[in-house]
Chain A
Amino acid sequence: MIIGCDIGTAYTKAVLMEGNSLEKYAVVPTEANPAMAMRRVIEALGVMAGDDSSNAAGTRKFLENGHRIGVTGWGQSKLSSDHYGINLLNSVAKGALWAFPSCRSVLNIGAQGCLLLSLNDAGRVLEYRVNDKCATGSGRFLEVISGALEIGIEDISDVVKSADKQLTITSQCAVFSESEVVGLVNESETVANIMAAILGGLASSIVSISRRIRIKDDLVVAGGLAKNRSFMDMIRDTIGREIKVFDPPDIIAAIGAALATKGVSA
């Protein structure tokens, strides 16, 4: 068995794979502590018996039994335990190809940045672009705004369905947009209209990185934000092509990490 673990800045995702088949998955908040988050997510997978699951000795036992753990994402470099480190680019590419063999481009939207890559027919990464310097165009942007509007991330998709007026957010910066949004609320604009404007702006910031890369069909969108249907419709309209989304979309990189580890000898 192989565990693939993707330690993101917001959430840590883990999958348990037997060969090419996905057996189980789990997602826990990272809470700024990668080592602890990895321990908790493996515990949540429930692959280790009893007390073993929550300590390093348990993980070692799992490894000694010939099983492996592949780790990717932001927190990977911050760990000091026995695991294979896999770079995020490869994980995302492998995971998306596993989910959709027809996949030739992947847009991965993370909490602290987004990644767009294109693949050749052999599944190799041809080119990629990363935007991880600014919260504009990242999942965190939406978190900041939904916090200011006091709505849950998971409710955004439904909320924007009742939007009936086109608003424009002039600020690019997440911090300044937050103030602008509060200003709009004070001017009695509805949360639905404000959120729709925010999503539209976010879609164009994300898609703006695609101008520098040749996107080929099929385009797969990965990352937790891909659960948001309304947002995916906006991404589709902004980018001007159909998109494919695996359910759940946030474990793509973890799946890729497990698959990349499979080929490595112990």
Chain B
Amino acid sequence: MIFAGVDVGSLSAEAVLVNEDAGILAHEIIVAKPNPVVSASLVMDSALKQQGLSYDDIDYCVSTGYGRERIPFAQHNISEISCHGKGAHWSVPSIRTIIDVGGQDCKVIRVDAEGSLKDFVMNDKCAAGTGRFLEGIASTLGVDISELGTLSLGGEDPVPVSSICTVFTQFDVLCFLAEGKRPEDIGMGVAEALATRIMRLIRRVGIEENLCITGGVAKNKSVVKSLQKVTGHRITELSVDSQIVGALGAALFAMERFNSRGRDRTNSGKPTEKQKEANEWNACNCRGR
């Protein structure tokens, strides 16, 4: 039995294949294309190839993320909020709070002991507090986004960043450089500013231990360190790549749905209107935005 999950984000797309015995069989991350259907297909092609599999071998596939309703090879779609909760909880069952910092949004997700969604808050209106903030700063500092975390860890005396807005912070960084401040200290100040911004979101749902961080920004060690500082909680490291948690959750949902519905694929195909309604109700029932 092979179950697949695919998660298309604003900046990257991920695919995960799982089965009941082995857990994760394969996973893949690619840079997102403008069209979510193309991104989903490319990343799934690549994940399947790793195991020498084809689309026919997938018993059930769930899609999540941007354009999740339109992915042709997925039988069902589930919101990325539920998927992140599911994936993180499967990775470390003691996880109750998930901070997902994506390329264009940030979510704080609370799950119960079973990994089911309890509550969440989300910011997708402002680039401050998202991966785009870090991208903007990295480009102003002239470093690659993947190097920003390591650079900032070398900071000794963080430069206080007073602006919230990404565009204004970029300008502040320019001034700091002109004043001769060290890029390491600027990076550290920026990581703390991002953590402080995310903390405002966290306060709205509260923290229950254990706490983890998912999404691409989790790879920035300086941000993780700053988040530990502002939250006052240790951040648990997941057993899987922080970026594939959404796709992993989708694959786990695929496995669950398949097992609860039997093997008749024609029955388990497209979600009915009633299921769509139920999904929406579940999403609305949480304290969003």
Contact = CB atoms under 8 A, between A and B. Distances in A.
B1 interface: no
Interface in B127-179: 127, 132-133, 136, 163-168, 171, 174-175, 177-178
B274 interface: no
B125 interface: yes
A140 B125 contact: no
B166 A32 contact: no
A171 B133 CA distance: 16
A133 B166 contact: no
B193 to A, nearest CB: 13
B178 A33 contact: yes
A112 B166 contact: no
Contacts of B163: 133
A9 B167 contact: no
B171 A172 contact: no
Interface string B8-45: 00100000000000000000000000100000000000
A175 B127 contact: yes
A133 B177 CA distance: 21
A17 interface: no
B53 interface: no
A174 B104 contact: no
Interface string A123-158: 000000000011100001100100000000000000
B286 interface: no
B178 A173 contact: no
A133 B171 contact: no
A171 B105 CA distance: 13
Contacts of B230: none
Contact of A9 (B133, B171, B177): B171
Nearest to B127: A175
Nearest to B126: A173
B165 A174 contact: yes
Most buried by A among B10, B166, B167, B175: B167
Contacts of A112: 168, 171
Interface residues of A, number: 20
B34 A176 contact: no
A179 to B, nearest CB: 8
B171 A32 contact: yes
Contact of A135 (B10, B133, B165, B174): B165
Given A33-B178, A173-B126, A140 B136 contact: no
Contact of B168 (A135, A171, A183, A186): A135
Contacts of A31: 178
Most buried by A among B10, B132, B164: B132
B167 A172 contact: no
A185 to B, nearest CB: 11
Given A32-B178, A176-B104, A186-B34, A134 B171 contact: no
Nearest to A112: B168
A144 B167 contact: yes
A174 B166 contact: yes
Nearest to B133: A175
A140 B127 CA distance: 15
B126 A172 contact: yes
A26 to B, nearest CB: 21
Contact of A175 (B167, B171, B175): B167
A133 B164 contact: yes
Contacts of B165: 133-135, 174
A33 B178 CA distance: 7
A174 B167 contact: yes
Nearest to A177: B127
A243 B77 CA distance: 52
A176 B164 contact: no
Given A32-B175, A32-B178, A33-B178, A175 B164 contact: no
Contacts of A9: 171
Nearest to B105: A176
A180 B93 CA distance: 38
A176 B130 CA distance: 11
Interface in A95-130: 112
Interface of A: 9, 31-33, 112, 133-135, 140-141, 144, 171-176, 179, 183, 186
Given A32-B174, A140-B168, 17 more contacts: A31-B178, A112-B168, A112-B171, A133-B163, A133-B164, A134-B126, A134-B165, A135-B165, A135-B166, A140-B167, A140-B171, A141-B167, A174-B127, A174-B165, A175-B127, A175-B166, A176-B126
13 contacts: A32-B171, A32-B174, A112-B171, A133-B164, A133-B165, A135-B167, A135-B168, A144-B167, A173-B166, A175-B127, A176-B125, A176-B126, A183-B34
